[in-house]
Amino acid sequence: MKLSQYLSAFLFVAFMAASPVAHAQQEGGTKAEAQDMTTKAVFLINTQGRGAAFDAFDKADGGFKKKDLYVFVYDLEGVNVFHAANKALQGKNLITLKDPNGKLLIADIVSTCKDKGEGWVDYMWFDKDIGKVLAKSSFVKKTNDDLCVGVGVYTH
CATH (domain of 107): 3.30.450.20
Give φ, ψ of 135 to 5 degrees: -70, 135
Domain that holds residue 97: 3-18+27-154
Distance, CA of 105 to CA of 28 (rounded, Å): 21
Q: Quick one: which of 23, 128, 33, 24 has its CA closest to 68? A: 23
Helices and strands in the chain, H and E counts: 4, 5
Structural domain count, the chain? 1
For the full predicted model, state whether its pTM sits above 0.85. no
pLDDT tens across 56-81, in order? 999 988 889 888 899 999 999 999 99
- Tell me how far CA of residue 81 lies from CA of 27, 74, 120, in angstroms: 28, 5, 20
Question: Which band of pLDDT confidence, cut at 50, 70 and 90, is reported for residue 21?
Answer: very low
